[in-house]
Amino acid sequence: MEAASSEASDQTSATTRTETSAPAHSAAAGETAAGREAEAPALRPHAEDAFAEELAALAAQDDRPRPERWLLSPWAVATYLLGGTLADGTVITPKYVGPRRIVEVAVTTLATDRALLLLGVPGTAKTWVSEHLAAAVSGDSTLLVQGTAGTPEEAIRYGWNYARLLAHGPSRDALVPSPVMRAMADGMTARVEELTRIPADVQDSLITILSEKTLPIPELGQETQAVRGFNVIATANDRDRGVNELSSALRRRFNTVVLPLPESVDAEVDIVARRVEQIGRSLDLPAVPEGVEEIRRVVTVFRELRDGVTADGRTKIKSPSGTLSTAEAISVVTSGLALASHFGDGLLRAGDVAAGILGAVVRDPAADRVIWQEYLEAVVRERDGWKDFYRACREVSA
């Protein structure tokens, strides 16, 4: 989905740019289109737009040295990600909740000649961190290539506008640069999502880009040289047979940073509550504070099933096939809040999250259902103060 939308927006921006330079283009039409864009708020604004004020405040107060073409110093980028309070009292909200060192290493890598690979199981905020890093470093998180088994080389290098190619032959005008090529030319951060899903030979087109910092265009006898400030952030899932698929030549161009699962229940509840609050605000859902106990139960269930043992370490349980990541807990709670707000009294209760939990846990209708029933009867049923939760889960599981 991301791929489709980012490709679509790439094309739109390319078209807009050409049209603006074309003499036949009417200014009035341009104004209407731009006006419409300004009026209707985006369903999900890019990080650089959603947090424009924080980024501006950081830039204004940041007196540390900035690498060439960076909008902020590495210190300010780390503060943007981890949160903090600036000298003038501006509060920077934490985007990533996790070890500070991880963020420091990631940011520092981007200032070197090595690219950054964010690795981890699904839902550990790889995409999220990548977007915010690009936003803070380059002010633009949209130079994005979505990796899939079908990602073609053109998505990493360049393609052609066939109408122009046929009409005028190969020329710079007919060339359609990839997000990576644009990042090279402008000294920006390019993002490659799910790198290890991309076929090996297509991945390898990144080798020259990352080692020589140049992109040859043999059809024109030209090349695009990367400008200082260019770098790449890739993400990869270490459950997809993963890094094994990354050729060693390519792996050497990357510094790998592993994003861990949240270390404690408290940390995970904090992440979920924060994100749900943010998402909920954009959907006009009720505030979280009253629902925080319900969030704790969702997170506890997810962690126990993921770890294969209860929180007190006493009871072994089987793990279902789904990932049950923090990201999934966030979506279960968000849907629960929506239910509570549209069909309940606005307070998040067990009945609002039960169906979501069931959906997340039972991926394989046969095996997972048995695991879930066992967990319900052996663990949830016996737990003090969880009667309402047990009943709600029983109701949706029947």
Ligand X SMILES: Nc1ncnc2c1ncn2[C@@H]1O[C@H](COP(=O)(O)OP(=O)(O)O)[C@@H](O)[C@H]1O
Q: Which of residues 306-335 bind ligand X (CB under 6 A)?
A: 326-327, 330
* Residue of 47, 55, 123, 191 interacting with ligand X (CB under 6 A): 123
Binding partner of residue 230 among Mg ion, ligand X, none, CB under 5 to 8 Å per kind?
A: none
Q: Applying CB under 6 A, does 192 fall inside the site for ligand X?
A: no
The smaller minimum CB distance to ligand X, of residues 229 and 262, is found at 262
Q: Applying CB under 6 A, does 351 fall inside the site for ligand X?
A: no
Q: Which amino acid is at 66?
A: R
> Between 254 and 273, how does the x/- string for binding to ligand X read (CB under 6 A)?
--------x--------x--
Q: Which of residues 94-133 bind Mg ion (CB under 5 A)?
A: 126-127
| DSSP H/E element including 123 | none
Parallel, antiparallel or unpaired: strands 175-177 and 222-225: unpaired
Burial of 269 (0-12, 13-18, 19+ CB in 10 A): buried
List, in sequence order, every residue forming a beta bridge with 175; answer none if it has no partner.
160
Q: Applying CB under 6 A, does 338 fall inside the site for ligand X?
A: no
Contacts of residue 60, Cβ cutoff 8 Å, sequence gap at least 6: none
Q: Applying CB under 6 A, does 124 fall inside the site for ligand X?
A: yes
Q: Applying CB under 5 A, does 203 fall inside the site for Mg ion?
A: no
> ∠12-13-17 over CA atoms, to 5°?
120
Q: For the range 81-87, what are the long-range contacts, defined as Cβ-Cβ under 8 Å and sequence gap of 24 or more? A: 81/107, 81/129, 81/132, 81/133, 81/136, 86/57, 86/58, 86/61, 87/61
Contact 196, 240 (CB under 8 A): yes
* Residue of 97, 250, 355, 360 interacting with ligand X (CB under 6 A): 97
Segment contacting ligand X (CB under 6 A): 96-104, 145-153, 167-175, 370-378?
Answer: 96-104
Q: Is 190 helix (H, G, I), strand (E, B) or coil?
A: strand
Q: Applying CB under 6 A, does 205 fall inside the site for ligand X?
A: no
> Between 45 and 64, how does the x/- string for binding to Mg ion read (CB under 5 A)?
--------------------
Interface positions with ligand X (CB under 6 A): 96-98, 120, 122-128, 235, 262, 271, 275, 326-327, 330
